[in-house]
Every structure is written in structure tokens, then in C-alpha cells.
Amino acid sequence: MTLMDGKSLRDELLQKYKEKIEKESLAIRLDIITVGEDAASEVYVRNKVKYATEVGIEVITHKLANSVGEKDIIELIDELNSNDKVTGIILQSPIPEGLDFKKCAGRIAHHKDIDGFTLYNIGNLYLGRESLVPCTVKGIMILLEHYKIDLKGKNVTVVGRSEIVGKPLTLALINRDATVTVCHSKTRDLVEHTKNADIVISAVGKKGVITEDMVADGFVGIDVGINRIEGKLYGDFDFEGVASKASFITPVPGGVGPMTVAMIIDNLIIAKTMKR
């Protein structure tokens, strides 16, 4: 069994990005907007700032109060959209209840949409065209490629159909010739779909939702789930049992998570250099 080491790959990629940014003197600026307070997001934002800064990207964080309205967020986004110094914009999720995240994030200019959430970028992914792809999805695809896991004709079961992971991941996998089954909370017999899969990708957010009896011998397991329990991180896989059957598997932490951060930098470089 091979552990798919997202941390090492992240470090390798960040080194390459750093060299490219230096060599080509790319002046890249990332603006991150946070609204209200959320402990988990604070950790994610801190990581984004850390890695982006390390590779030579300027990061500006805009901390908006819990009490702001959609109008204030949209005004700030409009201002950043029209500022030529700004390469990329991230509206950190979640934003306080009562505010429409999709509406606000959808306002980001598509060429500055580092998370790849705007209709234009999702549309391009749907059409199989080059675009800014959601970072977790791209991170998973690069991880699979790095470990030379061929997707052509493979049965891939994606568990989870969210707009940030499951759905765009399904499109990316189809674009790479995989045969994809998508499961969710209403799926009648989850095991029937996971057991027949060459590759299982779980993005549910429930510890132990995938167990040893649900997977085939020699399968490839990608665990997107992040479950924080009593200060410790777990994935969706009941790791020991599931790993005993896997040919390749991602750990949590240290698998998909680090790749997501690396892909933010990747998307920023694309945003800076793409022709419009």
C-alpha cells in the first residue's frame, strides 16, 4: 500500500511556483475577504497567507464584521475587481447566516476567481475548457496524476455532491475519461457503489462513513473529509481497515488538504498569466 503524500507534493510544487514567480518577476496579489469569525476558517486563512507569502505573493486580508450586509461585501468585491493590482480574490466561506455566499462569491470577476466558484469557471469545466478549477478538485487530479493513477475507463465512486467538491470533481473525472458514480445522503445502497469502484473519493465530512467492508481489494482511496474531533483531525475513512485493502490511499491530515493550498497558488499564477 502506498500512502499518497500530499504534503511532500505540496512542498515540491510550492518550490516550483516560487522559482517561476521569481524568474518571471510576477507581481501577484491575493485579496482574502473574511466576514465574521469562524475558528476553522481562521486556520485556513492563516495557511493561505503563509504559503502564498512564502512563494512571493502579496496577500491582503479584509476582515469584515459580522454585522455587514451583502451590499458591503459586494461593494468591496467590485472595488477589488476593478483594481489592476489585484490578481485574485477569495471570499472565505462560511459567511454569517442570512448572507448569500453564492451571490457574493458570484460577483468576483471570473479571471480573479481563484476558488473557481463563478458560473463562468464552472461552465468552462463543464465544457472541458481550460479554466480556474476549484482548488480541492484540481489538487485531487494532480495527486492522482503524480502517483500515475490512470483514470481512463476506471470506475470512480464519488461520495458527496457538494458544489465545491463532489459536483466539480465529477466533471473533472469525466473529462479524464473515468466512469463516474456520484453518491450522496439519499443514495440507497452506498456499499454497492463503493465496493465496485476502482477508486473511491469521499467528500462527506463524517468520520468513518467508509469502512473496510465497503471497498474492494486493491482500490485507490482519496479521503477529502476533514472531521475535527476533540482537537484531532480525521477523514471520512475508517483509516486502518480501509487502508488494509488499498493499493494507494491519502492520509488525513497530509493528503488532499495540502494539495488544496498548493492549488490556490497554481490558480493565482494562471490568473496572472492567462490571456483574456
Interface residues toward ligand NAP, by CB under 6 A? 136, 159-162, 164-166, 183-187, 190, 203-206, 209, 224-227, 256-257, 260
- The phi-psi region of residue 3 (left if phi > 0; otherwise alpha if psi is between -120 and 50; otherwise beta) is beta
Reduce the DSSP state of residue 33 to 3 states and report it. Answer: strand
**Closer CB to ligand NAP, residue 80 or residue 210?**
210
User: Taking the complex as a whole, how short is the minimal distance between the CB of residue 2 and ligand NAP, in angstroms?
Assistant: 19
Nearer to ligand NAP, 88 or 235 (CB): 235
CA Rg value for the chain: 19
Residue with C-alpha cell 469584515?
64
Residue 82 CB, shortest distance to ligand NAP, in Å, is: 30
CA–CA distance from 30 to each of 50, 78, 113, 221, 246 (Å)?
12, 15, 10, 32, 38
Rounded alpha-carbon distances, angstroms, from residue 225 to 37, 212, 254: 22, 17, 12
Considering beta carbons, is residue 17 or 234 the nearer one to ligand NAP? 234
- CB of 70 vs ligand NAP, minimal distance in Å: 21
Minimum CB–partner distance for residue 173 and ligand NAP (Å): 15
Least distance (Å) between residue 252 CB and ligand NAP? 8
Give the span between the Cα atoms of 192 and 208, in whole angstroms.
Answer: 17
Amino acid identity, residue 123? G
**Between 26 and 216, whose beta carbon lies closer to ligand NAP?**
216
Q: How far is the CB of 85 from ligand NAP (least distance, A)?
A: 28
* DSSP tag of 143: H
When the beta carbons of 69 and 94 are compared against ligand NAP, the nearer one is 94
Q: Are 43 and 36 contacting, i.e. CB atoms less than 8 angstroms apart? A: no
Shortest CB 176 distance to ligand NAP, Å: 20
Nearest CB to ligand NAP, comparing residues 131 and 260: 260
Smaller CB separation from ligand NAP, 146 or 206: 206
The beta strands (E) that lie in 118-198 are given as 155-159, 179-183
Tell me whether residue 195 is exposed, middle or buried, using C-beta atoms within 10 angstroms of its C-beta: 0 to 12, 13 to 18, 19 or more: middle
